[in-house]
Chains A and B, each alone.
Chain A
Amino acid sequence: MITDLTGLTPELLREMYRRMVLVREFELRAIAERRIGLIPGFIHASIGQEASAVGVGMAMRPEDVFTSTHRGHGHLISKGGDVARMMAELAARATGYCGGRGGSLHIADFALGSLGANGIVAGGIPMAVGAALAFAMRGEERVAVSFFGDGAANQGAFHEALNLAGLWKLPVVFVCENNLYGEGTPQHKQAPLADLALRARSYAFPGVIVDGNDAPSVYRAASEALERARHGLGPTLLECKTYRWHGHYEGDPQVYKPTGEQQEWQARCPIVRLGAALVTAGVATEADLEAIREAVRAELDEAVAFARQSPQPQPDEALMGVYAETHGGKVF
């Protein structure tokens, strides 16, 4: 498998590498910190899927928005998310992205275009269509992206949302990160077809399959889909073929994975692969890559320290922020 770097600037490629390392290291660090008690909730790590998140995230413009999933840390980091506020949210601190209300499953950053991770696998897809509808109604050249997994493609909301987007030719890109498992059941036991991109045909827009472990390929395919959407040509379903190295959640015994399968995919590590391509192409040296990894680890040390030092939310803050207007306290 050759990584084609055509059309990507050295700066972009190095940043792509950095963000992928940041996603990987964020996940590893969060898992480690959860084990020692900093993080009370569950974590759905995206280790192994960094190329699909970063390839799409970096192709987006700042004004584009996205909906994310339970496995969403990479999506936000790919668009510039603040790992300190992310770690603080996981650690249930007042300084976290949602003030400790949401945790990993609900991190949102509207300033960066994140409309929120989601605890319901296809829950964010109709929302992205709605954001795209707003852009189309106002004539804005913005695109909404919806990340979801192969499991979500079997929920009704997926089909309703894609149908509506296809019907109205809305500026939305559906990114299916097909990691071969929906929770603990393999994709071949969940859908009668291996290539979920084929479902786009039912909704009259292109379905594109891309090697989801190759960030430059994802980036190029996402850029094309985003431009189509931006210029009024409608949605694309982009299926990124990838693999989840960890369980559905941390602690999942993964009895459902056949022997040897994970090793095969780990041999196709998206980060190692991009690093090797950068070195081969002379875009970076091994020393440059190591420096990037060092810097990322230092950034995460700071993020963890920030989370640790941050205060817990005040208990009665739980009662605030349910509504914009509380009608004299009759609702709160």
Chain B
Amino acid sequence: MRELTYSEAIREALAEEMARDPSVFLIGEDVGVFGGVFGVTQGLLDQFGEARVLDTPISESAIIGAALGAAMMGMRPVAEIMFGDFLPIAGDQIVNQLAKARYMSGGKANVPVTVRVTTGAPGSAAQQHSQSPEAWFMNVPGLKIVTPATPADAKGLLKSAIRGDDPVLFFEHKMLYAERGDVPPDPDFLVPFGEARLAREGAHITVVAIGGMLRHALRAADQLAEEGIQLEVIDPRTLVPFDLETVVRSIEKTGRLIIAHEAHKRCGAGAEIAALIAEEALDWLDAPIVRVAAKNVPIPYAPALEQYVLPSAEDIVAAAHKLALPLRIR
């Protein structure tokens, strides 16, 4: 095992899959010469040439549509949409075309399209470059929604996405690109979809932490441990499919649930997860479910405003305190 950054892990996954399968190619804005606006695809143009690393015009509909058409003809495109905020520019191609192509054709269309896209607030990027739009697309059957939170998962989940035959929205959190972690060098290292990862064991409160919130949840867990409150932190890794079983099993132990995501609270992924738990595991809960999420306003520019709106480790700590009082720990 060796350490890579999240960014390097993604690049390694892309390079390995491109080397393995000639039908894999990259298509997007600034993915070639520029190397990706966050530097993720640096070097891939030199390694694979411009026939397989395609710089496009600023045309999100054409990028997704071209990826879909090429996929239907047997290719495995990895499209890049620079910011999650830009996904609606390609809204029809994602929601009405990509997501539904297999179903509406009666299974004739094979749709191995991976859409890499950045998510989350990088700091003072304001309203149109800071959003976490995962849940916008959870309501669209046909898409798979992947939210890697560690370098190893970034690699293993991306490889699963590329090798799979379904359209995947692969959300890379901008603030994780420089995070380091152990990444298996095995070129066939795959992380399956629909299997959550137990990031930290604990007896008292379950925290489902999505994407960029994982590191905050782990920090909160460290802090709370000093007070004797143990968080059990679960990283779902994929929101569609969602590993409900792992979360329920944890709640059977803790009786308490916090869901943390950087997306806005209203109708964020947490709303769906809370509803699933209410349907499937209400009897196990000893306290109301708490969501830690961005406030329901557009993400502001000024750091003072932005930090107020975005969820933090402190918010998770506060939520845990609320749940732990009165401390009725089983």
Contacts and interface: CB of A to CB of B under 8 A. Distances in A.
A127 B106 contact: no
B65 A161 contact: yes
B57 A133 contact: no
A321 B102 contact: yes
Interface stretch (B91-99, B125-133, B209-217, B251-259): B91-99
Interface in B56-105: 56-57, 59-62, 64-75, 77, 92-93, 96-97, 101-105
Given A325-B164, A327-B193, A331-B194, A157 B61 contact: yes
A144 B164 CA distance: 25
Interface in B134-178: 141-142, 144, 164-166
A198 to B, nearest CB: 21
Interface size class of B (residues with CB under 8 A): 35 or more
Nearest to B67: A130
B100 to A, nearest CB: 8
A204 to B, nearest CB: 13
A98 B106 contact: yes
A105 B117 CA distance: 30
A160 B52 CA distance: 20
Nearest to A128: B69
A133 B66 CA distance: 7
B69 A106 contact: no
B51 A137 contact: yes
A132 interface: yes
A98 B142 CA distance: 16
Contact of A330 (B52, B66, B194): B194
A127 B68 contact: yes
Given A123-B93, A164-B62, A131 B108 contact: no
B72 A126 contact: no
Interface stretch (A7-15, A112-120, A266-274): A112-120
Interface residues of A, number: 49
A321 B107 contact: yes
A116 B70 contact: no
Contacts of B107: 99, 321
B65 A125 contact: yes
Contacts of A160: 57, 59-62, 65
Nearest to A157: B61
B144 A134 contact: no
A163 B68 contact: no
A129 B105 contact: no
Contacts of B65: 123, 125-127, 129-130, 157, 160-161
B243 A163 contact: no
B6 interface: no
10 contacts: A130-B65, A130-B72, A134-B75, A161-B66, A163-B57, A164-B62, A322-B102, A324-B102, A325-B166, A330-B194
